Structures are given as structure tokens and as C-alpha cells.
Amino acid sequence: MSAAAEDGRGRASGPGAADAGARTARDVVHPLTRERVVAALDDLGYPWFRDRAGDVGAMWAQAVFHVYLLGPEENVLQVRATWHRRLAIERLAEVLELVDGWNRDFVGPKCYVRVLDDGMVSVVAEVSTPLAAGVSEDQLTTLVRRGIGQGMRMMHDLEQAYPDPAGRAP
């Protein structure tokens, strides 16, 4: 229990009152918005972009991340990573084995493959969180950081399993 108490007017007083007040502003729950996602990315110091559809994304060496607001009320936060490389369709069975192993061994992110129109295979990792009740600044920042961090773990495993052939001596 906090050492701070309320005075007769509903304000925090006593030891720790200043800390309690400072935490309160970032702990207030508000509806999820794209602007708040951008603010969370800024808080984290992550470089971000907005695509033509208005969706927010970020790029790292191994992946492109998008942060989507899904559902009719746009209250589901989804952080989706797409690996920067594509695999030949002939590797589908082995990459499915890797992805299935990942999904068995780890709680998140959810990983899957997509066969693209050109016959190449894309690997995707995503974390979705329903936030119909809203989300505080601290919670949103944590969810974005964890979603990107979990996606990067999967992308790192893909890089280990499929090193760039140009990076190895012939």
C-alpha cells in the first residue's frame, strides 16, 4: 500500500504523494488511437512511418512492423512483423516446421507463413491485444515495445535458419 493518503479534498498528501501524482497522468486510461500509438513509438525512440492507408509502421534490419488498430471500433492493437526476405515455395515445408515449432515453444508472437501471388513465401509474426476498455500511456508503450520485441525474436531465428547467402564465402 502506498504511503500517500488523501487529504479532505481528494488530493494525495504525505510521503510519496508527488510520485503518485506523477504516475497518475500516464496511468489514466484513454481510448486507443493512431496518434497515441505514434506517441508510444516516439516515447520509445523508435523510427516510424505512416503508409498510404494511414497505418503506422516501423522498420528494422530484419523486419517491417505495422501497428494496426483492428475491429469495428479500432480497439484491438496488433503489432505485425513481416520478415524482410522471402523464401522459395520449395522451402514451404521446412519453414512451416520452424514456425510450428516456434508456436509450440513460445506464447507469442503468433507466427505464420503466407504464400504470395508470385509463389514466394513470406513469414509474419503478430501480437494482438483487445483494448475495448482503453489503455494508459504506460500500458500502450509496454504493449508496443513487447510486440516489436517478440517479433524481432522470431525474425532473429529466421535470420539464423536462413542466413543471407551473400554473407557467406562461396
Helix axes 17-27, 137-161, angle to 10 degrees: 60
Each residue of 73-97: pLDDT tens digit?
A: 999 999 999 999 999 999 999 999 9
Each residue of 10-44: pLDDT tens digit?
A: 444 555 555 555 567 788 999 999 999 999 999 99
Spell out the domains of the chain, with CATH numbers in brackets: 1-29 (no CATH), 31-163 (3.30.1460.70)
Predicted model pTM: 0.81
What percent of the chain is predicted at pLDDT more than 90? Answer: 74
